[in-house]
Structure formats: C-alpha cells, structure tokens
Amino acid sequence: METELINQLAKTIYNYKTFILWLGTISFIIFIFSLLSIKWLVALIPSDYFLNKTNSSFKSTYPLIWIITIVVKNIIGYTLIIGGILMLVLPGQGLFTILIGLMLSNYPGKYFIERKFIAIPSILRTINWLRKKSNSPPIEI
C-alpha cells in the first residue's frame, strides 16, 4: 500500500516537472519573440496612425485576405496575452508581452486606449526612439 502511494506521488511530481518544463519553454520562446519583434512591430505603425483614423483601401479591395490577416493577427495577439499572463509567474517580460498582445488584438475601445497610452510622454519618446533605429519617421499625435 505504501509503495503504491509513493509510486503515485512520484508520478504526480514527474508530471508537474514536465508541465513546468513546458511552461518555461513556452515562456522563453515568447520572451525571445517579443524581444526580436518589438522594433519591427513598432516600425510597422504608420506615423499618422493617431492623426486620421480611416478605413484602409486594402479592406475593400481584398476582403478575404483582410479577414485572414485579422484572424491571424488576433490569434498571435491572444497567444501573446496568454503567454504574458503566464510570464507574470514564470520568467519573462509578462506585462510587456501582454501589452504587445493587446496592441495586436482587436476589441471595442482599442483605439481610445491606444491614444491615451501613446499620449504618455515617456512612452511616445521610447516608441519614437525605436522607430528612429528602424529608420521610420516618428509617430505624430
């Protein structure tokens, strides 16, 4: 009876070790992805994004490709949000990853939140610094 209990406990501990190893690996991959992609993602933002919010011609010209792009972008965004939440208790840049995930995802009120967030001087300065390193013009608000 005791040996069965000990064997069951050993299996449970082994399963938790495997689970934690997988979580740590996923956290590390998302951490590396966020470090490598931040400069590129910031450079993709049009410099006049916060000045004039208009619908793109891409949406009306290629609606199927636009829908596929939105779905893929949201999958990546929500994956980063989940990974960022995991990184709050695992190694990694949890808040930063959540922020990138929120920027990639679509949800009601997103544009308003983005405008409030970008209006913080230190954030605008950092984003424009990253854009300068990518040879992109600064964001105008």
pLDDT in the model for residue 8: 78
**Looking at the predicted structure, is the pLDDT value of residue 103 above 90?**
no
pLDDT digits 0-9 by tens, 22-63: 878 887 887 787 778 778 878 888 888 788 666 667 777 888
pLDDT confidence tier of residue 72, bands split at 50, 70 and 90: very high
pTM of the model: 0.56
pLDDT in the model for residue 53: 65
pLDDT confidence tier of residue 68, bands split at 50, 70 and 90: very high
pLDDT digits 0-9 by tens, 104-136: 898 888 888 888 888 889 888 988 898 898 888
* DSSP conformation letters of the chain: -HHHHHHHHHHHHHHHHHHHHHHHHHHHHHHHHHHHHHHHHHHHS-TTTTT-----HHHHH-HHHHHHHHHHHHHHHHHHHHHHHHHTTSSS-HHHHHHHHHHHS--TTHHHHHHHHHTSHHHHHHHHHHHHHTT-PPP--
